[in-house]
Structure 1
Amino acid sequence: MNSVRIEQDQSGIVHLILDKQGASANLMDDAFRADMAKAVIELGQLDYPGIIIRSAKSTFFAGGDLVKIAGVTKDNADEFYQMVESIKASLRALETGGKPVVACINGAALGGGWEIALACHYRIALNHKAVKVGLPEVTLGLLPGGGGVARTVRKFGLEQAMPLLTEGKQFSAEQAQNIGLIEALATDEAEMLVMAKAFIEANPQISQPWDQKGFRLPGGSPSSPKLAPMLAVAPAVLKQKTKGVLPAPEAILSAMAEGAQVDFDTACRIESRYFVELVTGQVAKNFINTFWFQLNEVKAGASRPDGIAPSKVTKVGVLGAGMMGAGIAYSAAKRGIEVVLKDISLAAAQRGKDYSARLLDKQIQRGRSSEQQKAALLQRITPTDSADALAGCDLVIEAVFEDRGLKAKVTQEAEAQISESALFASNTSTLPITGLAQASSRPENFIGLHFFSPVDKMPLVEIICGEQTSDASLARAYDFVLQLGKTPIVVNDSRGFFTSRVFGTFTNEGIAMLGEGVSAAAIENAALLCGFPVGPLAVSDEVSLTLMEKIRNQTIHDLAAEGIEQAPQGGDATIDRMIELERPGKLAGQGFYDYPDSGKKHLWQGLEAQFFQAQAQLPLQEIKDRLLFIMAIETARCVEEQVLTSSRDANIGSIFGIGYPTWTGGALQFINQYGVEPFVARADQLAEKFGDRFRVPASLRDMAASGQRY
């Protein structure tokens, strides 16, 4: 057997050792299915007091074979279903054999790995940071298909099982023990085996609670007076969260509720059917492609230049202690990096440091940090008003206002203090890096690091290479972003780069529709129903219309200097009108929305009088298509212009940076799943009706003609 081996120790206990040959981790694949079936037959021929399931790898079990799952279609779904049922049958045979089965968990046991542990009668884990347990399948558009739904519901009851199954949370060993996922913790593997043997000796005959006569579901059955009202509204509550675009949570809820009303084996078959339905669906394939394969490629350094030794930053300077600079300082200090936080006055720099203190106070209140950890982190941030304090920094990040003159000034002040080899980065969101690097005496060491607000929460950093940025500088910047625990994407220089440029099409399209007379509520609701986290009008208020106006005017000025005339955008007149009405956005307390002192924000009622036209109303799908297509088309333009050089960076960046709906798998994956040829045809329809901005680039039209995809 190549995935599982059987060993029997001196006390007769069988050790079922998970050890996939030629691999660094154990997988729930065809080989595992075959080996588990053989192992069950062999166990039937042995005399033993119990079974210990353990791993020969550094992790317990990695979960399902995502390569195989990604390849499952409607045509081979039945074959896949039979494989799933075979694995379940083997686990069920272990569970119902009458002998105690103990899982000894030495590392990560997520997804299929945790489902193996759930099939055991007792679970012991190392009390080590490497141990993570849980059922994160929902984050890949799937549900636990190895008995995880049926067993979790029977172990915890419907109410307590719901967040475990629908939220995909991962738990440390201590957390898992506190909520009853793990029964015992051990300090090392030797102690773990001693504890496992003791359990086996103390429980010579055992069965799962759900296999015992008279078993009742913890917390009550679906028809119980306590649960029935909750289950009646649960689908509506769930749909409010998913907006109907994420099928996995709804399938999980269905499998839970239906499975709770039948016997265990029937519940497992119900689970398998929902699992296979999700596996063959497009959303799961989008998730797996982007959030597993492409995200892992990014973390492995796919866009990092080869042949350059890894580096680490020990001291970073941050110029500008506003919200962005303060957030960057906190993120660096959190990772153990010394930070010099500079602003025009010591008081301003101190206010930036205080931002970290406030974040840490909130974490302490929630039990996620301590006063000692707070003090240690704050000790690493030095506020200053002097450029001299930047001496010794490996990296300096400029995070001042979007003003070319100011950025040039702080660049030259910093470079006078740092070594020739130090890296200098601008956090600009729109200004081309090549132009900003003209103020630098070492443009090969100049790069863009575009963080997203709030920096402490947003996972993405867009790395922008100027024309003279060296490969070594790119590699160092990439390493720094990973050092912060964030996700880097790499783009080439252009106005707005990738994320700001594409994000601008989203806000502009929403504002343009408003200016055409389309209902503001229809625009915002259509965006939410697409899966965008926030509507284009709401997010424009967050950005501020005055800032959008400044960026537009700066762009017009810059392009004019290059002899290029900037064509008016569809939303320009609406932005100008809102500014005339003194409604520039959230910071002013009024924009497209009103922001009352008490109560939730709501759309300004005056929008109807200012813009609404009854004859301009559009079908819901038309509004949704305009928002989805305009961003995807602009992303395709970025590919054609070589601003983007990989679909990986495009998909990860569009979701993690600018809120493109997760169910799509990203802007380019949306084109793939829509079908390149149908996408081009639909874009042409939109162009005929709403303007040439919906015309796809020539390269995408060529792809459609040749049957290619991103």
Structure 2
Amino acid sequence: MSEKILTLEKDKHGVAILTYDLPGRPMNVITDQARQELDEMADVIAGDDEIKAVVLMGKPGNFLAGADITMLQYVKTEEDGYQMSRAMHNVLKKYEALSKPVIAAINGPCLGGGLEVAMACHYRIATTSPKTVLGLPEVKLGLLPGGGGTQRLPRLIPLDQAMDGILTGKNFMPEQAKKLGLVDEAVPPEKLKEIAYQRALALAQGKMEIKRKLPPLPSPKMLAGLYEQAKGMVQKQAKGLYPAPLEILECVYKGLSEGLKAGYEEEARRFGKLVLTKEAAALIHIFFMDTAAKADRGVAKNVKPHPIKKIGVLGAGLMGAGITAIKADKGYVVRMKDVSMEAVGKGLKAAGKVLEGIWMKRPRGEYEYRRRYDLISVTDTYTGFKNADIVIEAVFEDLDLKHKVIREVEAVMSKNAIFASNTSAIPITRLAKASKRPQQFLGMHYFSPVHRMPLIEIINTKDTLPEVTATAWELCKACGKTPIIVNDGVGFFTSRVISRYINEGMLMLNEGARIEDIDNAAVSIG
């Protein structure tokens, strides 16, 4: 047996701390060994009369990020998938049935199987850390939540919110989760263990009762109507190409119309079916590719990035404003420049709107928005750029113009600062010809809208230093983006790929195909 994942420590007051810490992994995930240990630990807790209440915690900054997807490689038949789901059902039912209250103390990702574990606990406390998110993202892998998620979530929060969460895989932030009833409290990260212990102690001593107002379930007639409406919407959106949402809908409807036992059975059966679909295989493959890309900096592991605190942005148009907003959102001091105060003022307004969209609907949103907005300053000269650790250029796609601003800004930049161009197609080697220090020059190609698109292309030249690449990569990661290292050349990677699609479409058009037929064919194959 490998090193233990779960540890249980109890004190004289009858409170036990159950810690989930997967050795050798930065993130907690549910492995087969972890499931077995969870099963065994439920029996230990049930059989120990000294334990009166339990606090379940993850490793620092990470509660439980879901199932280990590599386990799915062992699913060869629908029966294998069915049994995998049922095994998790049985474990979580044990925790749910414990007479001793179990409190989930959530800090960091609580996703997929992690949220299913938390929902089987009797009380949930989440931190207000921006890294704390809750959700059931299985649909993004062509799967459904196989640990009871399709049954528990619609009973904990309003049905429309539950369906939206399961069918889209969207995340719930802590404050939203509390408002909906998914968690009972949202607390500062530094207070989590203390508050969770206090609640457990109060429960153990009979000084506190768990009172939760569950949302009303629809009547059979209303449920049938909602089911047909949702089914029509799913079929329209998926166009018959994506089976997971319909399978999820069937599980929810079965459970709400015929009861939990039938719902769990339906969930397990349909989970086994989905695991073997070609759609799930393709989406899981993309997941692993994405994970690998996020881990590949394109340089040796021992290369250290430069620290970044202050950022200069050249150009206050759509891209410049978007880049400014996402950097300020993550706490960087940003100086944005354009040719006039009128132009840069428009960029500041656009950046502010992005930040408003991110924060204003959240609790304390006005404060959080203002704190980030105040990190942005603007100018129509190069004042302040000498303090920038990196300058990101996002001016018009004109080689001469870009050469001009490169020469101008390098005249005031500090000797160790990095220059990054956001060009979408001009080879970085051509741009770097205007630079007096090509070793600190590279491309960082963002996509529009910047705050929504996760991908960033990092493009090196033969002169770019490894630590410059590492710095750009870490900056992208710190802003929640997915950087990929690509070779220099016209169009880089993405534009070259998409151009093939566009060219083929134009060739078909030239051969006599109708525009609507080309569009419909593209839609029909996904």
TM-score (norm 2): 0.87
AA at the equivalent of 2:257: Q
In structure 1, C-alpha distance between the alignment counterparts of 2:176 and 2:100, rounded to whole Å: 25
| Residue 479 of structure 1 pairs with residue 474 of structure 2 | yes
Q: CA RMSD in A?
A: 3.3
| Residue 499 of structure 1 pairs with residue 494 of structure 2 | yes
Shift of 1:519: 2.3
Q: Is the 8 A contact 1:312 1:483 kept in 2?
A: no
Q: Is the 8 A contact 2:202 2:208 kept in 1?
A: no
Picking from 241, 256, 264, the partner of 2:260 is 264
| SS of residue matched to 1:396 | strand
Partner of 2:246: 250
AA at the equivalent of 2:289: Q
Partner of 1:95: 96
1:14 to 1:350, Cα distance in 2 relative to 1, 3 A: closer
In structure 2, C-alpha distance between the alignment counterparts of 1:256 and 1:38, rounded to whole Å: 29
Q: How do residues 582-593 of structure 1 correspond to structure 2 at under 5 angstroms?
A: none
Deviations 1:589-631 (A, max 9, x none): xxxxxxxxxxxxxxxxxxxxxxxxxxxxxxxxxxxxxxxxxxx
Partner of 2:137: 136
Picking from 441, 445, 463, the partner of 1:450 is 445
1:402 to 1:164, Cα distance in 2 relative to 1, 3 A: closer
1:459 to 1:90, Cα distance in 2 relative to 1, 3 A: closer
Partner of 1:356: 351
Partner of 1:647: none
Please say which structure displays the higher CA radius of gyration: 1
Partner of 1:508: 503
In structure 2, C-alpha distance between the alignment counterparts of 1:258 and 1:395, rounded to whole Å: 55
In structure 2, C-alpha distance between the alignment counterparts of 1:334 and 1:206, rounded to whole Å: 37
Partner of 1:57: 59
Shift of 1:256: 0.8
Q: How do residues 263-342 of structure 1 correspond to structure 2 at under 5 angstroms?
A: 263-291=259-287, 293-342=288-337
Q: Is the 8 A contact 1:51 1:102 kept in 2?
A: yes
Partner of 1:152: 153
1:315 to 1:4, Cα distance in 2 relative to 1, 3 A: closer
Higher relative contact order (CA 8 A, sep 6+): 2
Shift of 1:166: 1.5
| Residue 193 of structure 1 pairs with residue 214 of structure 2 | no
In structure 1, C-alpha distance between the alignment counterparts of 2:163 and 2:448, rounded to whole Å: 31
AA at the equivalent of 1:189: K
Shift of 1:208: 11
Q: Is the 8 A contact 1:426 1:448 kept in 2?
A: yes
1:190 to 1:74, Cα distance in 2 relative to 1, 3 A: same
In structure 2, C-alpha distance between the alignment counterparts of 1:350 and 1:173, rounded to whole Å: 34
Q: Is the 8 A contact 1:138 1:248 kept in 2?
A: yes
Deviations 1:490-544 (A, max 9, x none): 111111111111122222322332333222222223333333xxxxxxxxxxxxx
Q: Is the 8 A contact 1:124 1:196 kept in 2?
A: no
| Residue 231 of structure 1 pairs with residue 233 of structure 2 | no
Structure 2: runs of 5+ lacking an equivalent: none
Shift of 1:418: 1.8
Shift of 1:168: 2.0
Partner of 2:415: 420
Shift of 1:481: 2.2
Shift of 1:40: 4.7
Picking from 237, 240, 246, the partner of 1:241 is 237
Moved more, 492-501 or 160-169: 160-169
In structure 2, C-alpha distance between the alignment counterparts of 1:512 and 1:25, rounded to whole Å: 47
1:398 to 1:158, Cα distance in 2 relative to 1, 3 A: closer
Shift of 1:74: 2.9
In structure 1, C-alpha distance between the alignment counterparts of 2:64 and 2:5, rounded to whole Å: 11
1:12 to 1:170, Cα distance in 2 relative to 1, 3 A: same
| SS of residue matched to 1:260 | helix
In structure 1, C-alpha distance between the alignment counterparts of 2:266 and 2:229, rounded to whole Å: 22
Picking from 452, 455, 468, the partner of 2:463 is 468
AA at the equivalent of 1:91: L
Partner of 2:32: 30
Number of equivalences: 519
Shift of 1:452: 1.3
In structure 2, C-alpha distance between the alignment counterparts of 1:181 and 1:16, rounded to whole Å: 21
Shift of 1:13: 5.9
In structure 2, C-alpha distance between the alignment counterparts of 1:154 and 1:399, rounded to whole Å: 48
In structure 2, C-alpha distance between the alignment counterparts of 1:110 and 1:92, rounded to whole Å: 19
Shift of 1:237: 0.4
Shift of 1:404: 1.9
Shift of 1:329: 2.4
Q: Is the 8 A contact 1:311 1:479 kept in 2?
A: no
| SS of residue matched to 1:296 | helix
| SS of residue matched to 2:257 | coil
Q: How do residues 162-201 of structure 1 correspond to structure 2 at under 5 angstroms?
A: 162-185=163-186, 187-201=191-205
In structure 2, C-alpha distance between the alignment counterparts of 1:318 and 1:82, rounded to whole Å: 54
1:403 to 1:52, Cα distance in 2 relative to 1, 3 A: same
Shift of 1:180: 0.6
| SS of residue matched to 1:105 | strand
Shift of 1:102: 1.9
| Residue 219 of structure 1 pairs with residue 214 of structure 2 | no
In structure 2, C-alpha distance between the alignment counterparts of 1:325 and 1:204, rounded to whole Å: 53
In structure 2, C-alpha distance between the alignment counterparts of 1:407 and 1:56, rounded to whole Å: 49
- Matched-pair identity in %: 37
AA at the equivalent of 2:74: V
| SS of residue matched to 1:456 | coil
1:393 to 1:516, Cα distance in 2 relative to 1, 3 A: same
